[in-house]
Amino acid sequence: MNYDLTDLRLFVAIAEERNLTRGAARACLAPSSASHRLRRLEDALHTTLFERQTRGVQLTRAGEALLRNARQVLASLEQMHANLSPFATGIRGHVSLWANTHATHTFLPDDLAGFLKQYPQVSVTLEERTSAEIVVAVASGEIEVGVLADSGSSAGVELAPYRQDRLVLIVPNGHALSGRAQVGFAEVLEHAFVMLHAGSAIHTFTMNAAAALGRHLDVRIQVRSFEAVCRMVGAGVGIGLVPRSAVKLAGVGDLPVVVVEMDEPWAQRDLQICVRKGIELSGFASALVGHLRRSGARHP
């Protein structure tokens, strides 16, 4: 590899500035040095990355592909530094935790705050993943602890109860469904939905549930949090499927929405703690699991 991270940072700076001189200044390099590095990078990759124009530069298609990958490389590097920095500042332990959307947005913020207060020498990295991804990562040893709902598979892992919850439908006041005590999923598919973003666990789950009925969802808008779903529904944008706990956290009593029960067996979405089968956890991972289990027992 005849290029280095400085070359990649320079390339990203030039691409974003669309100008070699400004990109060089951002990378703290002289224009002549930047030009030499850029030529060396293009030679190493055997392709042209920029089209030189009168007022700057324009990415080629190869350049666009490199920009996407270079940003990912640099973001991964920053994440690596973030993961290692606690050790440099004297923190003596670290736990990586993956959790599904439901747990990440509802129960874990308070429970992790309590854990970190109890163990000030520990840091935690929390990543939002689907339940299926969490099972695979725990079973392979990539992470020690996960929190998930039903993943469809528990091979190689052990599950312990964490929190009980249930999916409910929220609709605007005066909506055609607002007078119903409960509804089946098939009955609501003709209505426009407010959804969490694509890739979130509940988005994937809801889309799959509709596909199982041979239907598809009319998704009017996608947002980044359950609170935003509740507020969009209250504004009359559409209806939403959210955990009951999220409804409470969003303060729906102050919003013009109605909660309708879902008459579906899959609406019960209990969360579970996931660890690798037959493997003894590290000290702080074991402490975190114990803390989460006690929190769940106090708030079933």
Reported as a single tens digit per residue, the pLDDT across 168-218 is 999 999 999 999 999 999 999 999 999 998 878 788 889 999 999 999 999
- What is the Rg, in whole angstroms, of the alpha carbon atoms belonging to the chain? 24
Instruction: Report how far residue 234's alpha carbon sits from residue 254's, in angstroms, rounded to the nearest whole number.
Output: 10
Average pLDDT of the residues in 145-163: 86
pLDDT at 151 (0 to 100): 59
The number of beta carbons lying within 10 Å of the beta carbon of residue 192 is 12
pLDDT at 91 (0 to 100): 59
Q: Residue 137 pLDDT more than 80?
A: yes
The number of beta carbons lying within 10 Å of the beta carbon of residue 66 is 22
Condensed to tens digits (0 to 9), the pLDDT of residues 237-291 reads: 999 999 998 888 766 667 789 999 999 999 998 899 999 998 889 889 999 999 9
Q: What is the mean pLDDT of the chain?
A: 90
Instruction: Report how far residue 103's alpha carbon sits from residue 195's, in angstroms, rounded to the nearest whole number.
Output: 17
Instruction: Report how far residue 288's alpha carbon sits from residue 118's, in angstroms, rounded to the nearest whole number.
Output: 10
Q: Give strand ranges (E) for the chain.
A: 50-53, 56-59, 93-99, 122-128, 145-148, 157-163, 167-172, 182-183, 192-196, 218-223, 240-243, 257-262, 271-276
Condensed to tens digits (0 to 9), the pLDDT of residues 20-63 reads: 999 999 999 999 999 999 999 999 999 999 998 888 999 999 99
Q: Residue 300 pLDDT more than 80?
A: no
